[in-house]
Structure 1
Amino acid sequence: MTTADREIVISRSISAPRELVFEAFTDIRHLSQWWGPEGFTTTTRTFDFRVGGTWDFVMRGPDGTDYQEWISWTEIAAPERITLRHGEFQDDPNAFESILTFAPDGTSTRLEMRTIFPTKELRDEAAEKYHAVEGGRQTLAKLDAYITEIVSKGAQN
């Protein structure tokens, strides 16, 4: 069964080793610095990075709106792949699956975020109402900028 009509796929090449890019997704001190689209901040309530562990957090939008978020990790294969379920709360029937792959690309890392929604309608709503494609691109751009800053600070030390 194909999932193409239920997917959003976003990728970006980041000029850093994949171990560092992977770590930026798996350590809360990094995640809280860059997670979310432009203008969003993230406040973590709980964070337990392991298969079956959860990240319970609130994203605050530029207009002050709070969005309750919940992630559970279903697969971790460091530093190649992370699979997770993401919804507003545990057991959210509209939760979606994201598969993140970290592929070496010379001295860079090719990061792909493949999100699979339960239905085409939920995918379309995420894309149209919540601007998921642009938001995903902005999130990966923030990650890229954050990692570039870490690398440049490391080079100065």
Structure 2
Amino acid sequence: MEPINARSDVRTKLIEATPAQVFAAIRDPSKVARWWGPDGFSSTIHQFEFHPGGWWRLTLHGPDGTDFPNEYRLVRIEPDRMVQIAHPSPDHCFVLTIELTRRGDATLVSWQQTFDQAEHYQPLAEFLAQANEQVLARLAAEVHPPSAA
């Protein structure tokens, strides 16, 4: 198997919130629907079984109106610490691990998306780098929405 760094996108984001506040935005499907996906995308969640072995089914709606059905399996959940999600697609099979680490009054969110094969990851690497940064920014905004002036 290829080295993990040849088939993974790794991102971090410091969010000014507690791990519990960040975890709340990850476990609540109404919140997930607002932040999941890159800029310009929206999500419709059809099923969200937030427990190990549970299914998460959604449709990502692209800015051009294209729909992208997605299906994930929740693999591991450690409240306020970590969520691991598998995307069992034959052509884009990956595991996403989201870790939450307290850093003073903030939380460091570590995001690692690891594909089974580098040949599946490499064509998407540039897109994923940008998309995952946007998703993390949207997560941060969900945890701390802009205040109304």
Q: What's the TM-score once normalised by structure 1's chain length?
A: 0.87
Match of 1:55 in 2: 56
Q: 1:133 aligns with which of 114, 129, 133?
A: 129
Gaps of 5+ in 1: none
> Structure 1: how far apart are the matches of 2:23 and 2:74?
14
> Structure 1: how far apart are the matches of 2:35 and 2:114?
23
> Structure 1: how far apart are the matches of 2:78 and 2:13?
20
* Count of equivalent residues: 146
What is the DSSP-based 3-state SS (H/G/I as helix, E as strand, rest coil) of the residue aligned with 1:51?
A: coil
Percent identity, please.
29
What is the DSSP-based 3-state SS (H/G/I as helix, E as strand, rest coil) of the residue aligned with 2:70?
A: strand
> Structure 2: how far apart are the matches of 1:95 and 1:120?
11
Match of 1:65 in 2: 66
What is the DSSP-based 3-state SS (H/G/I as helix, E as strand, rest coil) of the residue aligned with 1:52?
A: coil
| AA partner of residue 116 (structure 2) | P
Computed over aligned residues only, the root mean square deviation of the Cα atoms, in angstroms, reads 1.6
Match of 2:107 in 1: 109
In the TM superposition, structure 1's runs of 4+ consecutive aligned residues that sit over 3 Å from their partners are none
Q: 1:98 aligns with which of 91, 96, 111?
A: 96
Q: What's the TM-score once normalised by structure 2's chain length?
A: 0.92
> Structure 1: how far apart are the matches of 2:142 and 2:116?
31
Match of 1:6 in 2: 7
